[in-house]
A and B are shown apart, each in its own frame.
Chain A
Amino acid sequence: MSEMKKIKNLKEFSTSADRFEGANLLCPGCAHSIIVREVLNATNDDLVLSASTGCLEVCTAVYPYTSWDASWIHIGFENGSTAVAGAEAMYNALKKKGRLKQPERNPKFISFAGDGASYDIGFQWISGCFERGHNIMHVVLDNEVYANTGGQRSSSTPIGGSNTTTPAGTHSYGEKQNKKDMMAIMAAHGGPYVAQVSPNKWKDMVKKIQHGFSVDGPVFINAASQCCTEWKFDPKDTMHLADLSTDTLAWPLYEIIDGKELNITYRPKNVIPVEEYLAAQGRFKHLFKDEYKYLIKEWQERVDSNWAYLNRREEARV
Chain B
Amino acid sequence: MANTGWDEFEIGAMLRSFDGKIDDIAGTLQEDRAYSQNNSFVASVADWRIEKPVFNKDFCIDCQFCWIYCPDISIISRDKKMIGVDMDHCKGCGICVEVCPTNPKSLLMFPEHADEEAELAKWPEKDEEKK
Assess whether A70 is interfacial by the CB under 8 Å rule: yes
Q: How far is the CB of A188 from chain B (nearest CB, A)?
A: 33
Question: Are B48 and A65 in contact, CB atoms less than 8 angstroms apart?
Answer: no
Most B CB atoms within 10 A — which of A23, A32, A64, A240? Answer: A23
Residues of B with C-beta under 8 A to A11: 62-64, 80
Assess whether B121 is interfacial by the CB under 8 Å rule: no
Question: Are A38 and B68 in contact, CB atoms less than 8 angstroms apart?
Answer: yes
Residues of B with C-beta under 8 A to A44: 26-27
| A14-22, A79-87, A165-173, A281-289 - interface stretch | A14-22
Instruction: Report the bound CA distance from A62 to B6 in whole Å.
Output: 10
Question: Are B38 and A239 in contact, CB atoms less than 8 angstroms apart?
Answer: no
Assess whether B79 is interfacial by the CB under 8 Å rule: yes
Question: Are B98 and A239 in contact, CB atoms less than 8 angstroms apart?
Answer: yes
B4-48 residues with Cβ-Cβ distance < 8 A to A are 4, 6, 15, 17-18, 25-30, 33, 37-45, 48
Most A CB atoms within 10 A — which of B1, B69, B88? Answer: B69
Assess whether A210 is interfacial by the CB under 8 Å rule: no
Q: A20-B73, A22-B74, A23-B45 are in contact. Are A235 and B40 (CB under 8 A)?
A: no
Nearest CB in chain B to that of A11: its residue: B80
Assess whether B118 is interfacial by the CB under 8 Å rule: no
Question: Are A21 and B41 in contact, CB atoms less than 8 angstroms apart?
Answer: yes
Q: A22-B89, A31-B71, A235-B93 are in contact. Are A10 and B98 (CB under 8 A)?
A: no
Instruction: Report the bound CA distance from A65 to B42 in whole Å.
Output: 9
Question: Are A19 and B64 in contact, CB atoms less than 8 angstroms apart?
Answer: no
Residues of A with C-beta under 8 A to B94: 29, 234-236
Question: Are B38 and A66 in contact, CB atoms less than 8 angstroms apart?
Answer: yes
Question: Are A28 and B17 in contact, CB atoms less than 8 angstroms apart?
Answer: no
Question: Are B72 and A22 in contact, CB atoms less than 8 angstroms apart?
Answer: yes
Q: How far is the CB of A282 from chain B (nearest CB, A)?
A: 17
Question: Are B73 and A17 in contact, CB atoms less than 8 angstroms apart?
Answer: no
Question: Are A33 and B64 in contact, CB atoms less than 8 angstroms apart?
Answer: no
Query: How does the 8 Å CB contact mask read for B64-95 relative to A, with 1 for contact and 0 for none?
Result: 11011111111001111010001011111111
Assess whether B97 is interfacial by the CB under 8 Å rule: yes
Assess whether A24 is interfacial by the CB under 8 Å rule: yes
Question: Are A22 and B86 in contact, CB atoms less than 8 angstroms apart?
Answer: yes
Residues of A with C-beta under 8 A to B28: 17
Question: Are B93 and A15 in contact, CB atoms less than 8 angstroms apart?
Answer: no
Query: How does the 8 Å CB contact mask read for A1-45 relative to B, with 1 for contact and 0 for none?
Result: 000000000111111111111111110111111100110000111
Question: Are A21 and B40 in contact, CB atoms less than 8 angstroms apart?
Answer: yes
Question: Are A23 and B41 in contact, CB atoms less than 8 angstroms apart?
Answer: yes
Question: Are B88 and A22 in contact, CB atoms less than 8 angstroms apart?
Answer: yes
Question: Are A21 and B95 in contact, CB atoms less than 8 angstroms apart?
Answer: no
Question: Are B25 and A28 in contact, CB atoms less than 8 angstroms apart?
Answer: no
Residues of A with C-beta under 8 A to B91: 28-29
Most A CB atoms within 10 A — which of B39, B68, B73? Answer: B68
Question: Are A28 and B30 in contact, CB atoms less than 8 angstroms apart?
Answer: no
Query: How does the 8 Å CB contact mask read for A258-298 relative to B, with 1 for contact and 0 for none?
Result: 00000000000000000000000000000000000000000
Question: Are A69 and B25 in contact, CB atoms less than 8 angstroms apart?
Answer: yes
Assess whether A67 is interfacial by the CB under 8 Å rule: yes
Query: How does the 8 Å CB contact mask read for A226-239 relative to B, with 1 for contact and 0 for none?
Result: 00000000111111
Residues of B with C-beta under 8 A to A26: 71
Most B CB atoms within 10 A — which of A16, A28, A29? Answer: A28
Question: Are B65 and A10 in contact, CB atoms less than 8 angstroms apart?
Answer: yes
Question: Are B29 and A17 in contact, CB atoms less than 8 angstroms apart?
Answer: yes
Instruction: Report the bound CA distance from A56 to B33 in whole Å.
Output: 24
Residues of A with C-beta under 8 A to B73: 18, 20-22, 33, 37
Chain B contacts to A: CB under 8 angstroms:
1-2, 4, 6, 15, 17-18, 25-30, 33, 37-45, 48, 62-65, 67-74, 77-80, 82, 86, 88-95, 97-99, 109
The 8 tightest CB contacts between A and B, nearest first, are A22-B89, A236-B94, A28-B93, A28-B91, A29-B93, A23-B43, A44-B26, A65-B40
8 A-B pairs with C-beta separation under 8 A: A18-B30, A22-B73, A31-B71, A66-B39, A66-B40, A70-B17, A199-B69, A238-B69
Beyond A17-B29, A19-B26, A29-B91, list 17 extra A-B contacts (CB 8 Å): A15-B79, A16-B26, A21-B89, A23-B88, A28-B92, A28-B93, A29-B94, A33-B72, A43-B26, A64-B6, A69-B33, A199-B69, A235-B93, A238-B71, A238-B93, A239-B98, A240-B98
